[in-house]
A and B are shown apart, each in its own frame.
Chain A
Amino acid sequence: MADASMGWLRGTLELVLAAVLAEGDRHGYALTQRIAELGLGAVRGGALYPVLGRMEAAGMVEAEWEAGQGGPGRKVYRLTAAGRERLDAETERWHHFSVAMDRLVGKAAG
């Protein structure tokens, strides 16, 4: 069900991006590569940057431009302290949610 998992990724993209940025600073394209590497699926730029923009406006991430070498400059994102706090809180909620979800789908499967 590739479509359904893409829907899950879209719904949790903010949490996913915060968690990936907690591993280290990255620019947009590197974020999509890391997300794919983790087996979470492919994120298109059209879905990625509006969410990064929203996170930046909310103070969860900050960004810095790095000059490109012979190409366009790139914007590198970093998780802020507020973003890390939010990530911790969301991670906690995610655990509750996934346990509840497992219970539900486990019951349905059983």
Chain B
Amino acid sequence: MNEWDERARLELARNGVGAEVADAVLAEVEQHCADSGESRQEAFGTPAEFAGTVAAERVPIGERAARDRRGFTARQRRSAMIGFFGFQLLLIGVVVWAEVGATVPLTMAGVVGTALCVAAAVGAVFAAFELRPAGRPRSVGKAFVVVGAGVVLGAMSYEWLPRTQLFRMPVLVIPALGVVVLLWAVRRGPERTPTKAPAGTEEWLSRLGGLLEGRHDVSRARVVELVEEARHHLVAGGLSPEDEFGPADHYAAELAGHEPARPPRWRRLL
């Protein structure tokens, strides 16, 4: 398999094209190039262009709309987050076993402080990787304020709550919990498709803007322009957004297909 094919296969997967369809279209590419003598690039464009065309033709809009700019669905993102925490628990379990021994003393300060810090860590990952693609980019800042409050409260709990020993916990509980969480990440069933359609025009427009910016990484200035244009169209014709544009997530995916990606600065640094 040449480099173009490999990159095309990757781009196809990123666009939600299943392995079976990918095999079929790449076989067509090979056949076409063998017959015509053209290179893949000449006949089909870049792998990204080719994958975009195939996805537009073969992947239903509902499936394309559920993927963020990097090609992840909500289920994939959540499974990755849960798996990450499971792995962290396994790692922490091993470190505590090596440092402290087979059992660990539990205190009120330790239990409450750790619970708050774990909740803050979960909240931080959720804020960073879930709120934006869910179409709520404006909530990310607020979520990080709550996370910061959790960290401060955790630190205060470690400092001020009683440190008298409640009981000793077997360290094995931590990696065992990690295994359970990892299994949960791997074996999660399909998720229910969320949310009812936004009720009114303004809710629909607001959802459109959130999805364009959060899920599809369209720049905020361009989002304002696209939303304003849709608003004018609806007002001019006295139209309903669902009738005229379809579901907000579908329309956002259609629009974003032609817009350059502008991910937030913090994600460009990752």
Contact = CB atoms under 8 A, between A and B. Distances in A.
A46 B226 CA distance: 12
A107 to B, nearest CB: 27
Q: Helix, strand, loop or mixed for chain A's interface?
A: helix
Contacts of B226: 49, 53
Contact of B239 (A30, A45, A53, A71): A45
Interface residues of B, number: 24
B245 A29 contact: no
A75 interface: yes
Interface of B: 225-226, 228-237, 239, 243-246, 250-251, 254-255, 257-259
Given A45-B244, A46-B244, A46-B246, A53 B232 contact: no
Q: Helix, strand, loop or mixed for chain B's interface?
A: helix
A41 interface: no
Nearest to B251: A46
B69 to A, nearest CB: 16
A24 B236 CA distance: 19
Nearest to A47: B254
Interface of A: 27-30, 32, 44-46, 48-50, 53-54, 57, 65, 68, 71-75
B246 A74 contact: no
A72 B232 contact: yes
B232 A28 contact: yes
B232 A73 contact: yes
Given A28-B229, A45-B239, 13 more contacts: A29-B232, A29-B236, A46-B244, A49-B255, A50-B258, A53-B259, A54-B258, A65-B225, A72-B228, A72-B232, A72-B235, A73-B228, A75-B229
